[in-house]
Structure 1
Amino acid sequence: MNLSLAKAFPIDTSNRYGRADRSAVGRWFWEIDRVLLLLVAVLIAIGLVAVAAASPAAGQRYSGGSVTVAPLYYFYRQTMWLAVSLPIMILISMMPRERLKRLCLIGAAVCLVAMVLVPLIGPEKNGARRWISFGFAQFQPSEFLKPLYIVAIAWLLSLKEKDKGLPVMLLSGALTGLVAVLLMIQPDFGSTIIFGTVWVVMIALAGANIRILAGMGVGGIVGVVLAYFLYDVATVRIDGFLFGEGDNFQVENAMRTLTAGGLFGMGPGGGTRKFHLPEPHTDYIFSVIGEEFGLIACMAIAAIYCAIVVRVLVKLLDEDEPFAVLAAAGLACQFGLQALINMAVNVQLAPSKGMTLPFISYGGSSMLALSIGMGLLLAFTRRNPYLKRSPYVVKWSGERPTL
């Protein structure tokens, strides 16, 4: 009788994707943070729905003369970019940390060279030069530099553990200053703020002296004031935001669009104000979501971004490798800050920045760069289920470590 049952209902003894599976995919499945991966998947699904909702408005806006853009043109292209980006994200998340470190250092150097070339050979769009064109596609080096720069800075700061005499803060500051100058030339004031803020967060985690951090805070305020008086882009944006001077139509219209749907929205495809937004599928897609799916949906999206950042920081509490802590914290900060800035612009709490909403806004360079960054984040938060880690204990010696 038992033999008959065994033949009728054979048991799979291969333990595929079980804890005993030592294949590359099996190890990845058990080591990856599946909650973090699920949150990202939810954002991507929301992004597809949002781009489909915004695509008709964007298609109508960019149709003119002999050019006709199909209503779902941007949705189809976003699906194509996702088909390319998601395998890249999974592949990166499966790589060992040392290999990723080397690849990121090489990639950061390549992107820096590309950013030097952008003002020289890049096409101009809406008064800015941020891309390198290849005819069939455009490449925005600053988007790809964001995650690669963070890993490079994390590696540089982690060298302090091996040689206390290395001026790592000075070197990382010089690299950040170079990136800031290249971004201001484009001009891209929003990305400059992100790079600078992430750098300050990372050196704070690395143990920078409080007096140095306070000095940087004062320096940041002075920098913004100087930018207001000396940098035309900053002057126009700040005047429009604070005093309503100049063309402040974009952020005001975005706010009206976002609140037009009330708590529950007008339903998919029911929005009308989105047809008057300048960039409904990219910069102002959060307002399109508010109009068609309601303020509750917007709050849920904000909660997902917050959950991703908090999830990463909690995972780092038992991480004992300084490089991994700095890299993952920097990537989480950049991800959360970019989302925060985009949403703040849409609710009229910040001047227009031209920044996409991570994994929701349309964009090829943005989607690829975000997938690379999230792949790195997933790789740096991987945990061996058989390795017992002790809680991260800080021993206070009476003095604050300095760089």
Structure 2
Amino acid sequence: MKDLIKNLKGDKGIWSFVMLLALISFMPVFSASTNLVYVIGKGSTLGYLVKHLVHIFIGFALIYFVHKVPYHYYRGLSKIAMPIVGLLLLFTFMQGTVINGANASRWIKVPFIGVTFQTSALAMLVLMVYVARYLAKIEDKKVTFKSSFFELWLPVFIILGLILPANFSTAALIFSMVCMLVFVGKYPLRYLAMVIGMGVTALTLFVLFAMAFPKAMPHRVDTWMSRIERFTDDTPNEDAYQIEKAKIAIATGQIYGLGPGKSVQKNFLPQSSSDFIFAIIVEEYGLVGGLAVLILYLMLFFRFLVSAHKAKSLFGKLLIVGLGFPIIFQALINMGVAVELLPVTGQTLPLISSGGSSIWMTCVAIGIIISVTKKEEEIAEELEEKEQREAALQQIIDEHILKEKQEEEAQAEPSYSITDNGSSQKALS
């Protein structure tokens, strides 16, 4: 174990906060899984706990192996992975799997092993690395809108177009994070404004087309189109029911909560172990527990800021911003939905909610971030070793000069001998 800890390179603060969030997740997931066991009648609570443990274990294994790879390798990998992700998204759109009747066409089932995987999570990861790669490539170069559109924005819009019909919230999150990243990467603001205008226009046309031809758009277009209307409507509906139960759970928790495993609303709240797990945390651990989770995410965000500031290369800075900020932003969205600040989006609480692909892609993103901090740590260690070697060499030189000076002074001083009568007499050479 000591050897394993020694091999954990990179920012220790990021490692610590990620581990704390993962540890916190076990009790809420174990408690909320009773909804699936006793209400739906599926599986066992111990089985869901073991499943979550396996997901977390695989996630940390991914962090470990990913952070060992030099981060500049991901520059080329993102370019190769983009067409692969596009094909996976197209396949998901055509053959998506429905899980427990929710979120159709977001998952695909991996053959032979029967594991479901959410391809949009992988797409977001690859796309952010791809955008960071492009921005680093055009650093200190004059870029035209035409060249940047075909090399940067066309792939972005293709990926978003494949995600949008089945998962509007994820598509909106990815687009906002890409815009944030290109702004940080000093992409010309007039071009960015044009792209945002094009995106809004394309979304409007898509909505009008979907309303005019509802049968032409399969999956869940009507669902995400009506969620904003439901958010402002007092008419009872599924989303209002979920929000109502989440608010009851939060109000019941008060300051210190009901205690671990004592949540009542987990038996009535759909997706209590994933989308609405924050409400269960507050119900069982109170305002203290909810604030503790929020503070952990904010501390992780602070470590991302520090690491981005320390990164020497623009590509490293953009990787940390592009992969780290969406994790925090997604967490804030999840909490905002639970307290009805935002409409229901279906975004999970990173590293805490149950679900394999969400945890794994978050862990891969964190592994890449730690890889960047590991490189900067190695550079700092090399500089420190260089300074120590130079200081040791200078000390040897100083000692040699001092020794030579002492020898010269010794040779320059006259020597005296003692005569028989006790008087001193200068020796003649």
Fold match by TM threshold 0.5:
yes
Corresponding residue of 1:397? none
Return closer, same or farther for 1:41/1:298 CA change in 2, 3 Å cut-off: same
Secondary structure at the counterpart of residue 357 of structure 1: coil
Corresponding residue of 2:126? 148
Secondary structure at the counterpart of residue 138 of structure 2: helix
Return closer, same or farther for 1:302/1:108 CA change in 2, 3 Å cut-off: farther
Return closer, same or farther for 1:177/1:83 CA change in 2, 3 Å cut-off: same
Corresponding residue of 1:201? 180
Residues 1:251 and 2:227 are matched in the alignment: no
Measured in 2, the distance between the counterparts of 1:321 and 1:193 equals: 29
Corresponding residue of 1:233? 223
Measured in 2, the distance between the counterparts of 1:205 and 1:273 equals: 42
Structure with higher Rg: it is: 2
Corresponding residue of 2:40? 62
The one-letter code sitting in structure 2 at the alignment partner of 1:386 is: E
Q: CA deviation at 1:194?
A: 1.3
Measured in 2, the distance between the counterparts of 1:376 and 1:62 equals: 38
Return closer, same or farther for 1:272/1:119 CA change in 2, 3 Å cut-off: same
Residues 1:171 and 2:151 are matched in the alignment: yes
Return closer, same or farther for 1:224/1:266 CA change in 2, 3 Å cut-off: farther
Corresponding residue of 1:160? 138
Return closer, same or farther for 1:222/1:243 CA change in 2, 3 Å cut-off: farther
Secondary structure at the counterpart of residue 131 of structure 1: strand
The one-letter code sitting in structure 2 at the alignment partner of 1:110 is: I
Corresponding residue of 2:102? 126
Measured in 2, the distance between the counterparts of 1:165 and 1:214 equals: 15
User: Mean alpha-carbon deviation: is it higher for 158-167 or for 131-140?
Assistant: 158-167
Corresponding residue of 2:31? 53
Unaligned runs of 5+ in 1: 1-15, 18-23, 390-403
Return closer, same or farther for 1:301/1:214 CA change in 2, 3 Å cut-off: same
The one-letter code sitting in structure 2 at the alignment partner of 1:82 is: I
Q: CA deviation at 1:123?
A: 2.2
Corresponding residue of 2:411? none
Output the TM-score relative to the length of structure 1: 0.82
Superimposed CA distance per residue, residues 357-395 of structure 1 (whole angstroms, 9 cap, x where no aligned partner): 100000011111111111111112222232559xxxxxx
The one-letter code sitting in structure 1 at the alignment partner of 2:94 is: L
Corresponding residue of 2:381? 386
Measured in 2, the distance between the counterparts of 1:226 and 1:259 equals: 41
Superimposed CA distance per residue, residues 45-79 of structure 1 (whole angstroms, 9 cap, x where no aligned partner): 0111221121112322331xxxx421232211001
Aligned-pair identity (%): 24
User: Mean alpha-carbon deviation: is it higher for 258-267 or for 312-321?
Assistant: 312-321
Corresponding residue of 1:112? 86
Residue 162 (structure 2) aligned to one of 182, 186, 190: 182
Corresponding residue of 1:32? 10
The one-letter code sitting in structure 1 at the alignment partner of 2:26 is: L
Return closer, same or farther for 1:363/1:159 CA change in 2, 3 Å cut-off: same
Return closer, same or farther for 1:77/1:159 CA change in 2, 3 Å cut-off: same
The one-letter code sitting in structure 2 at the alignment partner of 1:358 is: P
Q: CA deviation at 1:280?
A: 0.8
User: Mean alpha-carbon deviation: is it higher for 36-45 or for 97-106?
Assistant: 97-106
Superimposed CA distance per residue, residues 21-43 of structure 1 (whole angstroms, 9 cap, x where no aligned partner): xxx985x54x5100110000000
Q: Is the 8 A contact 2:27 2:261 kept in 1?
A: no
User: Mean alpha-carbon deviation: is it higher for 162-171 or for 311-320?
Assistant: 162-171
The one-letter code sitting in structure 1 at the alignment partner of 2:295 is: A
Output the TM-score relative to the length of structure 2: 0.77
Measured in 2, the distance between the counterparts of 1:39 and 1:324 equals: 21
Superimposed CA distance per residue, residues 65-106 of structure 1 (whole angstroms, 9 cap, x where no aligned partner): xxx421232211001112222111111011112223333433
Corresponding residue of 1:361? 353
Residue 71 (structure 1) aligned to one of 39, 45, 68: 45
Q: CA deviation at 1:117?
A: 0.6
Return closer, same or farther for 1:25/1:266 CA change in 2, 3 Å cut-off: closer
Corresponding residue of 2:70? 96
Q: Is the 8 A contact 2:10 2:372 kept in 1?
A: no
Residue 311 (structure 1) aligned to one of 283, 303, 316: 303
Q: Is the 8 A contact 1:169 1:203 kept in 2?
A: no
The one-letter code sitting in structure 2 at the alignment partner of 1:41 is: M
How many pairs were matched up?
361
Residue 325 (structure 2) aligned to one of 333, 340, 343: 333
Q: Is the 8 A contact 1:342 1:355 kept in 2?
A: yes
Q: CA deviation at 1:220?
A: 6.3
Q: Is the 8 A contact 1:47 1:361 kept in 2?
A: yes
Residue 343 (structure 1) aligned to one of 335, 338, 343: 335
The one-letter code sitting in structure 1 at the alignment partner of 2:85 is: C
Residue 171 (structure 2) aligned to one of 171, 188, 192: 192
Q: CA RMSD in A?
A: 2.5
Return closer, same or farther for 1:212/1:107 CA change in 2, 3 Å cut-off: closer
More helix by share: 2
The one-letter code sitting in structure 2 at the alignment partner of 1:319 is: A
The one-letter code sitting in structure 2 at the alignment partner of 1:271 is: S
Secondary structure at the counterpart of residue 386 of structure 1: helix
